[in-house]
Chains A and B, each alone.
Chain A
Amino acid sequence: MRILVVEDDLEAQRYLVQGLKESGHVVDDAADGDLGLSLALSRPYDVAIIDRMLPKMDGLGVVAEMREHGNTTPVLFLSALSEVDDRVKGLKAGGDDYLTKPYAFVELLARVDALMRRRSPVTVKTQLSVGDLHLDLLTRAAKRGDQAIDLQPREFRLLEYLMRHAGQVVTRTMLLESVWEYHFDPQTNVIDVHISRLRAKIDKGFDTPLLHTIRGAGYMIRAR
Chain B
Amino acid sequence: MTGRGAMMRNSFRLLRTQAFRIVLVYVLLFAFSVSALLFFTYWNTRRTIDDETDQIIEAEITGLNEQYVRLGIRGLDESVMNRSLHPGQALYILADSAHRYLAGDLDTWPSITPDPSNFVEFDYERRTSGVPETRRARGRIFPIQTPVGDYYLLVAEDVHDRDITQRMFTTTLPWTVALILVFGLLGGALMSRNMLRRLDSINRTSGEIVAGNLTRRVPVSGAHDEFDVLAENLNRMLDRIERLMKGLREVTDSVAHDLRTPLNRLRQRLEQQQGRLQSAGSDTSDIERAIAETDQLIGTFNALLLIAETDAGTARGAMSPLDLASVAADVSELYEPLADEKNVTLTLIRPSGVHSGETMIEGNRSLISQALVNLVDNAIKYTPPGGRVTIRPGLSFQGVDISVADSGPGIPPEERPRVVERFVRLEASRHSPGTGLGLALVQSVAHFHNAELLLEDNAPGLKATLRFPRPAARLMPTADPVKAAQIPSRSAAE
Residue interface mask A74-90, B partner, CB < 8 A = 1: 00000011111100100
Residues of A70-128 contacting chain B, CB below 8 A: 80-85, 88, 100-105
Bound Cα distance from A99 to B306, whole angstroms: 16
The answer to whether A102 and B318 have CB atoms under 8 Å apart is: no
- B316, CB-defined interface residue at 8 Å: yes
Residue A185 lies at the interface, judged by CB distance under 8 Å to chain B: yes
Flag if A84 contacts B261 (CB, 8 Å).
no
Verify A82–B305 contact, CB threshold 8 A: yes
Question: Contact partner of A15 among B272, B318, B369, CB < 8 A?
Answer: B272
> Across the interface, do A193 and B337 meet the contact criterion of CB distance under 8 Å?
yes
B337 near A104 with CB under 8 A, answer: no
Q: Can you report 19 residue pairs joining A to B where beta carbons are below 8 Å apart? A: A15-B265, A15-B268, A81-B257, A82-B309, A83-B302, A84-B310, A84-B315, A85-B315, A88-B317, A88-B318, A100-B260, A101-B263, A101-B264, A102-B260, A180-B334, A182-B370, A187-B434, A188-B381, A193-B341
Chain B residues, CB < 8 A from A186: 334, 373, 377
**Interface residue from A85, A184, A187 paired with B318 (Cβ < 8 Å):** A85
Interface presence of B366 (CB below 8 A): yes
With the chains together, A100 CA to B294 CA distance in Å? Answer: 15
The yes or no answer to A9 lying at the interface (CB within 8 A) is yes
Confirm or deny: A53 has a beta carbon within 8 angstroms of a beta carbon on chain B: yes
Q: Which residues of B contact A (CB under 8 A)?
A: 252-253, 256-257, 260-261, 263-268, 271-272, 294, 298-299, 302, 305-306, 309-310, 314-318, 330, 333-335, 337-338, 340-341, 366, 369-370, 373-374, 377, 380-381, 433-435, 438
State whether A187 touches B366 (Cβ < 8 A).
no
B330 and A105 contacting across the interface, CB-CB below 8 Å: no
Question: Are B252 and A82 in contact, with the CB atoms below 8 A?
Answer: yes
Nearest neighbor of A22 in chain B, beta-carbon distance:
B275
A12 within 8 A of B: yes
Closest A residue to B253 using CB positions? A81
Closest CB pairs A-B (n = 4): A102-B264, A80-B260, A84-B315, A193-B337
Q: How far apart sit A83 and B267, CA to CA, in the bound complex (Å)?
A: 19
- Tell me whether A85 and B337 are in contact in the complex, defined as CB-CB below 8 angstroms, given that A9-B265, A102-B298 are known contacts: no
Q: Is A11 an interface residue (CB 8 A)?
A: yes
Q: Is A140 an interface residue (CB 8 A)?
A: no
Q: Is the CB of A85 within 8 A of B316?
A: yes
Return chain B residues, CB-CB under 8 Å to A12. 261, 264-265, 268
What distance in Å separates the Cβ of B147 from its nearest Cβ neighbour in chain A? 121
- Measured in the bound complex, the distance between the Cα atoms of B272 and A11 in whole Å is 12
Q: Which residues of A contact B265 (CB under 8 A)?
A: 9, 11-12, 15
Rounded to whole angstroms, the CA-CA distance of A194 and B377 in the bound complex is: 15
Q: Decide if A21 is an interface residue (CB 8 Å cutoff).
A: no
Residues on the B chain within 8 Å of A194, using CB: 334, 337
Instruction: Return chain A residues, CB-CB under 8 Å to B335.
Output: 190
Q: Are B433 and A101 in contact (CB under 8 A)?
A: no
1/0 contact string of A1-38 vs chain B (CB within 8 Å)? 00000000101100100000000000000000000000
Contact residue among B268, B337, B369 (Cβ-Cβ distance under 8 Å from A190): B337
Q: Which residues of A contact B369 (CB under 8 A)?
A: 182, 184
Contacts of B267 in A (CB 8 A): 102-104
Q: Which residues of B contact A83 (CB under 8 A)?
A: 302, 306
Chain B residues near A9 (CB-CB < 8 A) = 261, 264-265
Residues of A in contact with B (beta carbons under 8 Å apart): 9, 11-12, 15, 53, 80-85, 88, 100-105, 154, 180, 182-188, 190, 193-194, 196-197
B370: chain A residues within 8 A (beta carbon)? 182, 184
- For B492, the closest partner residue in chain A by CB is A181
Further pairs besides A84-B318, A184-B369: 10, Cβ < 8 Å: A11-B268, A53-B257, A80-B257, A84-B306, A85-B316, A102-B294, A180-B330, A187-B433, A187-B434, A188-B381
Question: Shortest Cβ distance from B408 into chain A, in angstroms?
Answer: 15
Report the bound CA distance from A156 to B153 in whole Å.
117
CB of B438 to closest CB in A, whole Å: 7
How far, in angstroms, from A186 to B335 measured CA to CA in the complex?
10
Complex alpha-carbon distance, A58 and B481, angstroms = 45
Q: Which residue of chain B has the shortest Cβ distance to A52 in the bound complex?
A: B257
Are A197 and B272 in contact, CB atoms less than 8 angstroms apart? no
**Distance to closest chain A CB from B293 (angstroms):** 13
Report the separation of the CA atoms of residues A104 and B294 in the bound assembly, to the nearest whole angstrom.
11
Give A102 to B296 CA distance when docked, in angstroms: 12
Complex Cα distance, B433 from A84, in Å, reads: 25
Closest CB in chain B relative to A51 CB, distance in Å:
10
How far apart are the CA atoms of A161 and B300 in the complex, in Å?
Answer: 30
B334, A190: Cβ atoms under 8 Å? yes
Which residues from chain A contact B314 at a C-beta distance below 8 Å?
Answer: 84
How many Å lie between the Cα of A217 and that of B294 in the bound state?
16
Within 8 Å CB of A103, what residues of B?
264, 267
Chain A residues within 8 Å of B252, by CB: 82
Q: How far is the CB of A143 from chain B (nearest CB, A)?
A: 23
Specify the chain B residue showing the minimal Cβ separation from A103. Answer: B264
Q: Which residues of B contact A183 (CB under 8 A)?
A: 366
Using Cβ atoms and an 8 Å threshold, which residues of chain B touch A53? 257
List of A residues within 8 angstroms of B253 by Cβ: 81-82
Q: How far is the CA of A80 from the CA of B302 in the complex (A)?
A: 11
Contacts of A185 in B (CB 8 A): 299
Which residue of B is nearest A184, CB measured? B370
- Bound: A187/B338 CA distance, A: 12
Taking the closest CB of chain B, its distance from the CB of A189, in whole angstroms, is 8
- CB-nearest residue of chain B relative to A8? B261
A188 to B335, CA, bound (A): 10
A102: chain B residues within 8 A (beta carbon):
260, 263-264, 266-268, 294, 298
Inter-chain CA distance A53–B250, complex, in Å, is: 13
**CB distance A85 to B377 under 8 Å?**
no
Is A80's CB under 8 angstroms from B337's CB?
A: no
B252 to chain A, nearest CB (A): 5
Q: How far is the CB of A162 from chain B (nearest CB, A)?
A: 16
Shortest Cβ distance from residue A168 to the other chain B in the assembled complex, whole angstroms: 20
In the bound complex, residues from chain B placing their C-beta under 8 Å from that of A154 are 333
Centre residue among A104, A184, A196 by max chain B CB count within 10 A: A184
A190 and B338 in contact, given A84-B309, A105-B271 (Cβ under 8 angstroms): yes
Cα-based distance from A51 to B377 in the complex (angstroms):
33
Which of B257, B309, B333, B366 sits near A184, CB closer than 8 Å? B366
